[in-house]
Amino acid sequence: MDQWNMSDAPVKSFSPLSNCTMDTSYRFTFYQVSYSVIFLLGLATNSLALRRLCLSPFTINSTAIYMVSLSTADLFFVISLPLRIYYYYHKAQALSSITGDLSSWTPGAAYCHFTFTLKYISLYGGIFFLVCIAVDRYFAVVHPLAPSVRRLRVAQLVSGGIWCLVLGLSVSLSLLRSAAAHQNQPCLLDPTSQHHRTIILAVLCIVLGLFLLPTVLLLYSYCRVLSVLSHPRHRSRSQHHSRKHTLTVIYWVLAIFLLCFLPYHINLLVYTLAHLGLLSHCGLAKVTKAVHPVMLSLASSNCCLNPLIYYFSSSLVHRETPGGGGSGSL
């Protein structure tokens, strides 16, 4: 089910958009196909990345710690995908039946809570650990004479703290979401009451904050790194290889943010405001509702793209020492 699904009814039956309806039944089949592809690719790529990271004796450093955490967070989502595919399979079957009864199979509250918790763990665990990789590169390049910040013990403590934060936030957001769900359809939000609308807006603010704050930190870190790497002393032939791999990691992380996370959160904002009746533009509401499955699938695809960061940064991971690297490490 969608991370942020309202209902299968019109955009909002009690708002100025009550007559603004459109058919989005295609999403049931679309999700089955997209999630099946993401499941296969995500399981294969993250398993291979974890296997190499954990078995290689040369990868125990701060970069590797954050890469292991990133792949683990992705696997949380990957293992939930069969449940989501099962959900949409039944919805598609119900839609194609003679009666077209979409409520013929309704998952329980525990089912919805579990799958949404795994989704939040993957989404925001992925965001936070991508930021950790950005900050790790920041200290490696901008402050190379402060190796204590990148020591193995520090990376383990930071990673453990982020895991506690992500797990706590994921469970809390899932519980808040459940509090605003339909009584008979716990996987769908019910914005028909003022109390539920308040909860939905509160969750929306938290979700956007969990995206915006890490994004600012990531952009700041990488802007500083790029500024340092543009200095003539980093253009020497001896440092060309390290500089090239560092730039590749930076561009790849930025690409994941721009492709997977930014469009999804922008669409989520407009999509939610339209369903709550706070945005009375029918055309915009239709567009955001139509592309929502695509944006959600793009956001979910980050679990397949993240292992490529390890591929591009493998030389950095293997070259740096467990203590955090010397003054010349990038």
Q: Lowest-confidence range among 88-92, 174-178, 210-214? A: 88-92
| β partners of residue 156 | none
The number of residues making up the chain comes to 330
| Predicted pLDDT at 325 | 43
Q: What is the pLDDT of residues 11-61, one digit of tens each?
A: 443 444 556 777 777 888 899 999 999 999 999 998 888 887 777 665 577
Residue pair 86/1 in contact (Cβ under 8 Å)? The answer is no
Grouping H, G, I as helix, E, B as strand and the rest as coil, residue 181 is: strand
Q: What is the C-alpha separation between 8 and 252, in angstroms, rounded?
A: 37
- For residue 270, the Cα-to-chain-centroid distance in whole angstroms is 18
Compare 281 and 26 and report the one with higher pLDDT: 26
- What percent of the chain has a predicted confidence (pLDDT) above 70? 78
Q: What is the pLDDT of residues 96-146, one digit of tens each?
A: 765 545 455 677 888 888 888 988 898 889 899 999 988 888 888 888 766
Other beta carbons less than 10 A from residue 104's beta carbon: 13
Mean pLDDT of 89-97: 77
The domain limits of the chain are 26-319
CA angle 174, 178, 179 (to 5 degrees): 120
Does the pLDDT of residue 239 top 90, yes or no? no
Q: Where are the alpha helices (DSSP H) in 257-301?
A: 262-275, 282-300
Q: What is the C-alpha separation between 197 and 133, in angstroms, rounded?
A: 36
| Predicted pLDDT at 14 | 41
Half-sphere exposure of 183 (CA within 13 A, CB side): 2
CATH fold of the domain at 26-319? Rhopdopsin 7-helix transmembrane proteins (1.20.1070)
Q: What is the C-alpha separation between 226 and 275, in angstroms, rounded?
A: 41
| β partners of residue 189 | 181
Compare 220 and 319 and report the one with higher pLDDT: 220
pLDDT tier for residue 159 given thresholds of 50, 70 and 90: very high
